[in-house]
Amino acid sequence: MLRVLFSAVLALAFGSSVYAADLDVKVVDKACWVEIYEDDNYDKDDPHLQIQGPAEFATLKDLKGRNWNDDIESVIVGPNATVKAYKDKDFKGTEIAFTSNQRVPNLGKLDMSNEIESMRVSCHAS
Ligand SMILES: [Ca+2]
Ligand SMILES: [Ca+2]
Ligand SMILES: [Ca+2]
């Protein structure tokens, strides 16, 4: 009851158009991300990048100005993210799935070192 009244007052105060626009604001899930590393063992001295999800990349040719194709050697997956990665561009070739909170210090153990060329990052509340 109070909530309805509050909404009505807001609508009166700011106009219904502003109130409606406010509902369109996209909420960023701060726990939905994946970190990719050019070297193994999450070496922060070499190029590394955190990608906010949800996102999909048919090629990794230009992620924040760098060509990441066939160059990722370790990954860390955030709590609310899952990742599918592919050996070829356009989500083709061998597919590998990473689960929430997964840490892979050496993709070579999964036969994916310096092989990934496309990727999907999905979000879900944990
Ligand atoms: Ca290094
Ligand atoms: Ca590399
Ligand atoms: Ca490849």
pLDDT by position in tens, the chain (length 126): 455 555 555 455 555 555 555 666 678 999 999 999 999 999 999 999 999 999 999 999 999 999 999 999 999 999 999 999 999 999 999 999 999 999 999 999 999 999 999 999 999 986
Which residues neighbour ligand 1 (ion) by CB within 5 Å?
39, 43, 46
- Residue 126's pLDDT is 63
Burial 9-42 (b: 16+ CB within 10 A, else e): eeeeeeeeeeeeeeeeeeeebebbbbbbbbbbeb
d(CA 118, CA 104): 17
Q: 30 CA distance to ligand 1 centroid (A)? A: 28
Dump strand ranges (E) for 23-117.
33-37, 48-52, 55-57, 74-77, 81-88, 92-98, 103-104
What domains appear along the chain, each with residue ranges and CATH number?
Answer: 1-26 (no CATH), 33-123 (2.60.20.10)
Q: 110 CA distance to ligand 2 centroid (A)? A: 15
